[in-house]
């Protein structure tokens, strides 16, 4: 198995503005520790040699040596003679009912399986027997599932048949597949800022030059459409990755007027719009309902991504792409070079859950409403200076914490028993240090624990705010 090696230049991009008010080696160690905690640096990755990293950072080798030593003391790194320094993720003693790490995990905005899951699994098992005579390799997806997904699109106002559906291993593979098929090295790709981290990871891996447009929790629309139209005209992106409903992490939804302007701008530039609608049906009490973005496509080319992971269960690694037949054939050809298909039993389970999907959604909405109520009650009382926007659905809130200390808060919270993702994970160039994503998916008792941990962590985190990053360039 090949090892992950992080070059000095790549690490500089991840570090962003890492210097704080304390000693440089402590600030560097803290930033590296954060990158390991939130997954941007995988456990076991080999870090750059001390001399190389020191040269690229413009610091003394002693600073890097001390930072690596600090990481080893905290068990976030290990060093062996001849093999360099590698990242590590220390565990903790597990207590009954605790997360496997021993920490309360607020990094995943995901619900436990719905009550209908055992029945769906039992029914799927009975449908598996006839399929056991086949090889089990299918890169397009089972017909029964593609028909179920197509029916759901049709019910939501977008007529679809099974030939317009490609089943994938979750939405993340769908994004990676589209990036590989539609982006050539050097092409521009438009994304929202902030956004789903794995989207810009996948586009960057495909060689795209990322172009960002802002989404805010403030204002009526959230999207600055004037900026979006201007950026599209200037850059003519090959692809635009957007989340029109309950955008991750802001929770905002595009109005009908914004949808029309976005699609008109894309049509004018020949930009393919990839609409990630994985959270689209997680509506708690949105005043207005919207059909899939592709219903208003007009002259724009819209491809839709969906997933069972958010609405059904994260353990079901099943997603799908909805597109025109010619595009599905093209994507199918590319997908065959990536893997040999989506797990058959999981596809059958998802198909059975679609038969009772309204009941699944009712459970999800009730759980999300309870999580929202708990957060909206606890956070303002504990942190009066924070801004906690009211969301009408989706999986999380994007809280404004008042100071550029999100990374320090994530680090300090871990020491208090809470895993939480710092705001910069959802942006580029170290942006969003004033924000924290908090999931709606936890029970009120877990919210109580999380808020108490944040209260304990806040004094240490707020003492050393990071320098404010400069304005983000439109093209990164």
Residue 86 CA, chain-centre distance (Å), reads 25
* 274 strand-pairing partners: 241, 303
Q: Where are the domains of the chain?
A: 8-87, 104-114+359-462, 117-355
Vertex 317: Cα angle to 119 and 301 (nearest 5):
115
How confident is the model at residue 157, as a pLDDT? Answer: 97
How confident is the model at residue 359, as a pLDDT? Answer: 96
How confident is the model at residue 446, as a pLDDT? Answer: 94
How confident is the model at residue 459, as a pLDDT? Answer: 93
- Asked whether the beta carbons of 402 and 358 are under 8 A apart, the reply is no
Number of H helices, E strands in the chain: 16, 13
Mean pLDDT of successive 10-residue segments in the chain (476 residues)?
73 80 84 80 86 91 90 86 81 41 87 94 93 91 98 97 97 95 96 93 92 89 92 96 97 95 96 97 94 93 96 95 97 92 96 96 96 96 96 96 92 92 85 93 94 95 61 32
Residue indicated by tokens 């360039």: 473
How confident is the model at residue 94, as a pLDDT? Answer: 37
Beta strands in 142-199 (DSSP E): 165-168, 188-193
| Residue among 11, 12, 6, 23 nearest 62 (CA) | 23
Beta strands in 174-257 (DSSP E): 188-193, 209-214, 239-242
Residue indicated by tokens 């924070």: 386
CATH 3.40.50.300 is right for the domain spanning 8-87: no
Residue 307 CA, chain-centre distance (Å), reads 13
Taking the C-alpha atoms of residue 474 and residue 196, their distance in angstroms, rounded to an integer, is 18
Taking the C-alpha atoms of residue 49 and residue 75, their distance in angstroms, rounded to an integer, is 18
Q: 3-class DSSP state for residue 88? A: coil
CATH 3.40.640.10 is right for the domain spanning 117-355: yes
CATH 1.10.357.10 is right for the domain spanning 104-114+359-462: no
């Amino acid at each position: 198995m090949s090892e992950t090696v992080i070059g000095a230049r790549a690490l500089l991009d991840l570090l962003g503005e890492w210097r704080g008010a304390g000693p440089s080696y402590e600030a560097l160690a803290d930033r590296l520790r954060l990158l390991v905690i939130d997954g941007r640096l995988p456990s076991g990755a080999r870090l750059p040699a001390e001399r190389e990293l020191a040269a690229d950072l413009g610091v003394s080798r002693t600073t890097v040596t001390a930072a690596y030593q600090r990481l080893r003391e905290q068990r976030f790194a290990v060093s062996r003679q001849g093999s360099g320094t590698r990242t590590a993720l220390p565990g903790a003693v597990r207590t009954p009912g605790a997360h496997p790490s021993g920490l309360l995990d607020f990094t995943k905005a995901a619900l436990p399986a719905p009550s209908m899951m055992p029945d769906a699994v039992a029914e799927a098992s009975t449908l598996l027997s006839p399929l056991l005579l086949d090889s089990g390799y299918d890169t397009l997806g089972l017909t029964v599932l593609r028909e179920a997904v197509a029916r759901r699109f049709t019910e939501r106002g977008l007529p679809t048949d099974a030939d317009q559906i490609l089943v994938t291993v979750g939405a993340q593979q769908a994004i990676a597949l589209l990036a590989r098929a539609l982006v050539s090295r050097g092409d521009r790709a438009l994304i929202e800022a902030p956004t789903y981290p794995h989207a810009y990871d996948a586009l960057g891996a495909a060689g795209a030059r990322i172009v960002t447009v802002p989404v805010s929790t403030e204002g009526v629309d959230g999207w600055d459409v004037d900026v979006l139209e201007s950026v599209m005209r200037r850059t003519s992106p090959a692809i635009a990755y957007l989340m029109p409903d309950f955008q991750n992490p802001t929770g905002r939804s595009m109005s009908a007027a914004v949808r029309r302007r976005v699609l008109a701008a894309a049509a004018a530039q020949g930009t393919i719009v990839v609409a990630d609608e994985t959270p689209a049906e997680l509506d708690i009490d949105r005043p207005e309902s919207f059909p899939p973005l592709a219903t208003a496509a007009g002259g724009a080319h819209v491809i839709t991504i969906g997933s069972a992971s958010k609405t059904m269960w994260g353990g079901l690694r099943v997603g799908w792409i909805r597109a025109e037949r010619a595009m599905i054939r093209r994507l199918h050809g590319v997908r065959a070079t990536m893997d040999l298909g989506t797990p058959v039993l999981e596809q059958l389970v998802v198909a059975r859950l679609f038969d009772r999907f309204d009941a699944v959604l009712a459970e999800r909405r009730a759980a999300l409403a309870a999580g929202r109520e708990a957060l909206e009650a606890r956070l303002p009382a504990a942190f009066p200076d924070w801004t906690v926007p009211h969301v009408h659905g989706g999986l999380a809130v994007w809280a404004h914490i008042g100071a550029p200390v999100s990374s320090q808060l994530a680090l300090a919270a871990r020491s208090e028993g809470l895993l939480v993702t710092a705001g910069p994970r959802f942006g580029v160039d170290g942006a969003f240090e004033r924000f924290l994503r908090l999931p709606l998916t936890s029970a009120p008792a877990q919210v109580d624990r999380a808020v108490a941990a944040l209260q304990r962590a806040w004094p240490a985190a707020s003492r050393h705010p990071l320098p404010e990053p400069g304005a983000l360039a439109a093209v990164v």
